[in-house]
Amino acid sequence: MKILITGGAGFIGSHVVRRFVTKYPAYQIFNLDALTYAGNLENLKDIQKSENYTFLKGDITDAKYIDSIFKEYNFDSVIHLAAESHVDRSITDPLAFVKTNVIGTMNLLNSAKESWKNNFKGKRFYHVSTDEVYGSLGANGLFTESTSYDPNSPYSASKASSDHFVRAYGETYGLPYIITNCSNNYGPNHFPEKLIPLFINNIIHKKSLPVYGDGNYTRDWLFVEDHATAIDLAYHKGENHETYNIGGFNEWKNIDLVKLLCKLMDVKLNQKEGESEKLITYVKDRPGHDLRYAIDASKINKELGWEPSVTFEQGLEKTIDWFLQNQDWLDNVTSGDYKEYYSKMYQ
Ligand code: NAD
Ligand code: DAU
Separation of 122 CA from ligand 2 center, angstroms? 36
Residue nearest to atom 20 of ligand 2 (CA): 195
The pLDDT-based confidence of 283 (bands split at 50, 70, 90) is very high
Q: Which amino acid is at 55?
A: F
The pLDDT of residue 336 = 84
Which among 195, 201, 211, 344 is the best mutation to test ligand 2's pocket, defined by most ligand atoms within 8 Å of the CB?
A: 195
The pLDDT of residue 8 = 98
Catalytic-labelled residue, pool 155, 169, 217, 244: 155
From the CA of 207, the nearest ligand is 2
The pLDDT of residue 117 = 94
Per-residue pLDDT tens over the stretch 143-156: 999 999 999 999 99
Q: What share of the chain is helix, strand, coil (3-state, %, to 5)?
A: 45, 20, 35
The pLDDT of residue 208 = 98
CB of 63 shorter than 6 A to ligand 1: no
The pLDDT of residue 27 = 98
Judge contact between 28 and 3, C-beta under 8 A: yes
CB of 227 shorter than 6 A to ligand 2: no
Q: What is the DSSP string of 89-154?
A: HHHH-HHHHIIIIIIIHHHHHHHHHHHHTT--TT-EEEEEEEGGGG----SS--B-TTSPP---SH
Per-residue pLDDT tens over the stretch 172-217: 999 999 999 999 999 999 999 999 999 999 999 999 999 999 999 9
Question: DSSP character for 242?
Answer: E
CB of 152 shorter than 6 A to ligand 2: no
Question: DSSP character for 44?
Answer: G
Q: What is the DSSP string of 248-308?
A: -S-EEEHHHHHHHHHHHHHHHTT--TTTGGGGEEEEPPPTT---B--B--HHHHHHH----
The pLDDT-based confidence of 260 (bands split at 50, 70, 90) is very high
Would you tell me how many other CB atoms lie within 10 Å of the CB of residue 107? 19
Catalytic-labelled residue, pool 33, 59, 84, 131: 131
Separation of 195 CA from ligand 2 center, angstroms? 6
pLDDT higher than threshold 90 for residue 337 = no
Percent of the chain whose predicted confidence (pLDDT) is above 70:
100
Judge contact between 65 and 57, C-beta under 8 A: no
- In the residue annotation, 155 being an active-site residue is answered as yes
Per-residue pLDDT tens over the stretch 221-235: 999 999 999 999 999
Backbone torsions φ then ψ of 210, nearest 5 degrees? -80, 95
* Domains present along the chain, CATH in parentheses: 2-190+221-251+288-310 (3.40.50.720)
Q: Which amino acid is at 264?
A: L
- The number of the ligand 1 atom at minimal distance from the alpha carbon of 132 is 43
- In the residue annotation, 37 being an active-site residue is answered as no
Average pLDDT, the chain: 97
- In the residue annotation, 256 being an active-site residue is answered as no
* CA–CA distances in Å: residue 272 to residues 121, 153, 219, 262, 269: 61, 39, 28, 11, 9
The pLDDT of residue 237 = 98
pLDDT higher than threshold 80 for residue 347 = no
Per-residue pLDDT tens over the stretch 84-104: 999 999 999 999 999 999 999
Question: DSSP character for 48?
Answer: T
Separation of 297 CA from ligand 2 center, angstroms? 20
Per-residue pLDDT tens over the stretch 50-90: 999 999 999 999 999 999 999 999 999 999 999 999 999 99
**For residue 210, how many C-alpha atoms fall within 13 Å in the half-sphere facing its CB?**
12
pTM more than 0.85:
yes
Beta partners for residue 317, in sequence order: none
d(CA 320, CA 201): 10
